[in-house]
Amino acid sequence: MKKKVGFIGWRGMVGSVLLKRMLEEKDFLHIKSIFFSTSQIGEKNPKFSNFLFPGFLKDAYNIEELKKLDIIITCQGSLYTQKVFPILRSSGWSGYWIDAASDLRMNKDALIVLDPINHMHIKNAIYNGIKTFVGGNCTVSLMMLALGGLFRQNLIKWVSFSTYQAASGAGSKYIKELLEQINFLNQYLSKKSTFSQSILKIEKNITSITKNFDFPKKNFLIPLILNLIPWIDSSMPNGQSKEEWKMESETNKILSTENNNRVLIDGTCVRVSSLRCHSQSFVIKLKKDISLHKIEEILSNDNKWVKVISNDKESTLKELTPLSVTGTLNIPIGRLRKLNIGSKYLSAFTIGDQLLWGAAEPLRRMLKFLV
Residue 274 Rama label (left phi>0; alpha psi -120 to 50; beta): beta
Q: How far is the CB of 28 from ligand HSE (least distance, A)?
A: 25
Cite the beta strand spans of the chain per DSSP E: 3-8, 31-37, 47-48, 51-52, 58-59, 71-74, 96-99, 110-113, 132-135, 156-164, 264-268, 277-286, 306-308, 331-338, 345-353
**Active site members:** 138, 278
Contact 99, 74 (CB under 8 A): yes
Residues in 46-105 at the binding interface with ligand HSE, rule: CB under 6 A: none
Tell me which of 232, 254, 272, 367 binds ligand HSE, using CB under 6 A: 232
Q: Does 138 bind ligand HSE (CB under 6 A)?
A: yes
Q: Could you give the 3-state DSSP secondary structure of residue 341? A: coil
Q: Does 175 bind ligand HSE (CB under 6 A)?
A: no
Tell me which of 6, 223, 358, 362 binds ligand HSE, using CB under 6 A: 358
Q: How many CB atoms lie within 10 A of CB 83?
A: 14
Q: How far is the CB of 243 from ligand HSE (least distance, A)?
A: 5
Cβ-proximal residues to 301 (8 Å cutoff; 6+ apart), any chain: 149
Q: How far is the CB of 355 from ligand HSE (least distance, A)?
A: 9
The site for ligand HSE, by CB under 6 A, has a size of 9
* Beta pairing class for 331-338 and 345-353: antiparallel
Q: How far is the CB of 99 from ligand HSE (least distance, A)?
A: 12
326/354 with CB nearer ligand HSE = 354
Choices 1-9, 41-49, 124-132, 162-170; region in contact with ligand HSE by CB under 6 A: 162-170
Choices 84-92, 163-171, 188-196, 254-262; region in contact with ligand HSE by CB under 6 A: 163-171
Q: Does 250 bind ligand HSE (CB under 6 A)?
A: no
Q: CB burial class (10 A; 0-12, 13-18, 19+) of residue 6?
A: buried
95/267 with CB nearer ligand HSE = 267
The residue count for the chain = 371
Q: Does 243 bind ligand HSE (CB under 6 A)?
A: yes
Rounded Cα distance between 184 and 318, Å, is: 30
**Residue ranges in contact with ligand HSE by CB under 6 A:** 137-138, 165, 169-170, 232, 243, 354, 358
